[in-house]
Structure 1
């Protein structure tokens, strides 16, 4: 009954574990969940007020498929202000979150057997969407020694005549790794003279600690012309449930194809959400975002120190995002086994590294309050101390 393509698709591991944790909690279990990448802060007031005003003014009709003119212009203003990037409104498409952006992109560019280079650890959705679109994920392994970042030599060695795209995620989910401008420049040099696109997922751009963020498309004209920038407001503006994402690209044929696809699937994204996004895009929520960022940095520092004090566990302090990618190889290299038993015995929900293409680790989200973080890590410490392989 089912199509072959749908049978290659797996459920998101992070969403599955988060749902399981919620079910256990609803059943009365004392579960602490650090699985979801979901800020615990409220959506900025200015965005809340914008959507209320939109409701009251009757802004509930269809908009153009890519988005209303004012939201497309707001994205252009944001990209110019933050990164010096010059886009026109017809080069922007709003989507139902970054997953929708990626889905549209790979549906539009991949033929059967086309290859997409994906650094690992990777966000769980990347290879799944590539596979569903008929492509082949080409995974490049990284580790602590490389700062969880690929090298130009790795990229060069992975390129074949079938390579269609490279996915770069900076800051990274799950490791928090941030590529510097010079590192992006070096990767860009490898791509010169090819037709390879770069899908640059910059969802955590405003959550970078102690170093600058570099937008991939801003590094060179060559990278600008081959990069599809993917971003949104779920993480940095605490709007995960609003599902606002967008993509920016100067490639007309690609943009036209994606608009056609979206016109036959979702059409425009929620009109009210578009209005809510505008203040955040224009910088009117920056003060609240700065407060969130400072809180995340404080939580990061606390959690890193607590985890590195647990014998058998280790973690590199991330430069961005709100995750720790914790090495459990000394205790248990099978991350699925480790996390399953951690949830069953200690009632702590985390995400196994296997889901991110890099076993022997688990992802711990510190996008929650300090009391819960401290309590959760204490439970993990007890679990590790008593762990039996």
Structure 2
């Protein structure tokens, strides 16, 4: 008798199959699949040839990379290099969340920080933002009404994942003031900031009540290298270092790639933004021609599009499965939100242009096939 797989085992096998699917078109995790800048490849290859991977990196990250991250963000403070942005956020939750505290975030949002907060015993408060009445954004009034002195962390992913909305400097200032008024820390997840013109890191406004997390997975395409960072006031970063799991440092090769990427960032982002815009316009046209589908946020301030399915008569899960059968990975809304996930899919756009064209070409037939799909394998 075959033993049923546990949730973690089922999830792992799901992604293992995806990763080992030859020629898979990855358009569901906001990862960047545009061919890397030659300087980044050279940095990784050079590090490998020198055998740098035989040694542990400094526990807070290479000093040159730490300084480059802070300079790139354009703030005062210091950086803790982590194994991806997710590790940075987990470290913050370990440092600040306790039973009797609250972790306040939006719904939808990126799901994992809320899980980390729950693991530490904090109550997770999700404020609904899914709708045109709020502009698909968290409002200062809604946040103010939801926080008190028990609030440990206010988590804001900006631009929002999965919606693609962003916040003005005035809105960020209002969130900082609210955090200060109740003694909370504003966690400004800046993973997608390079896709949003005029983005303002909260540290520029109030370095005492804000901390920023950054990632090299999306703009630079280093998802598999697992490089991210926390940036904040030295005292806060020192506190977080005591809760970091990367006590032997983040990956050496990934850090060398990240620093090389920062040196060529201006040139690199011109290419990335051009391809991202082209792909988004292409998908916008395809969605406009598909009955019942609509773009919920336009223009997107990130490297993905949130596509509404509520009027299509097709479930997001069935559409994800129809695309999977054709070698394309997209994401169902329930990955991000149980409350609103039945109404949208998310499609990544920092991919080769022929991938985006394939998505568009397949859209009419996948919609039709999805209408006949009643049973969908477990999705993650």
TM-score (norm: length of structure 2): 0.85
Q: What's 1:3 paired with?
A: none
Q: What's 2:287 paired with?
A: 307
Structure 1 unaligned residues grouped into runs of 5+: 1-6
Query: Which of 199, 209, 214 is matched with 1:231 structurally?
Result: 214
Q: CA deviation at 1:298?
A: 1.0
Q: What's 2:46 paired with?
A: 53
Q: What's 1:242 paired with?
A: 225
Q: What's 2:127 paired with?
A: 140
1:10–1:107 CA distance, 2 compared to 1 (3 A): farther
Q: What's 1:201 paired with?
A: 189
1:11–1:295 CA distance, 2 compared to 1 (3 A): farther
Q: CA deviation at 1:239?
A: 1.7
Q: What's 1:293 paired with?
A: 273
Q: What's 1:43 paired with?
A: 36
Question: Contact (CA 8 Å) 1:217, 1:229: kept in 2 or not?
Answer: yes
Q: What's 2:71 paired with?
A: 77
Larger mean Cα displacement after TM superposition, 133-142 or 96-105: 133-142
Question: Contact (CA 8 Å) 2:216, 2:258: kept in 1 or not?
Answer: yes
Mapped to 2, the partners of 1:349 and 1:235 lie a distance apart of 16
1:73–1:321 CA distance, 2 compared to 1 (3 A): same
Pairing of 1:245-256 with structure 2 (within 5 A): 245-250=228-233, 252=235, 254-256=236-238
Structure 2 unaligned residues grouped into runs of 5+: 1-5, 375-380
TM-score (norm: length of structure 1): 0.83
Mapped to 2, the partners of 1:167 and 1:31 lie a distance apart of 33
Larger mean Cα displacement after TM superposition, 316-325 or 327-336: 327-336
Q: What's 1:171 paired with?
A: 159
Mapped to 1, the partners of 2:27 and 2:228 lie a distance apart of 24
Mapped to 2, the partners of 1:59 and 1:98 lie a distance apart of 23
Pairing of 1:15-164 with structure 2 (within 5 A): 19-22=16-19, 25=21, 32-60=25-53, 61-79=55-73, 83=74, 85-87=75-77, 91-145=78-132, 146-164=134-152
Question: Contact (CA 8 Å) 2:130, 2:136: kept in 1 or not?
Answer: yes
1:313–1:92 CA distance, 2 compared to 1 (3 A): same
Mapped to 1, the partners of 2:362 and 2:275 lie a distance apart of 22
Question: Contact (CA 8 Å) 1:166, 1:199: kept in 2 or not?
Answer: yes
1:17–1:371 CA distance, 2 compared to 1 (3 A): farther
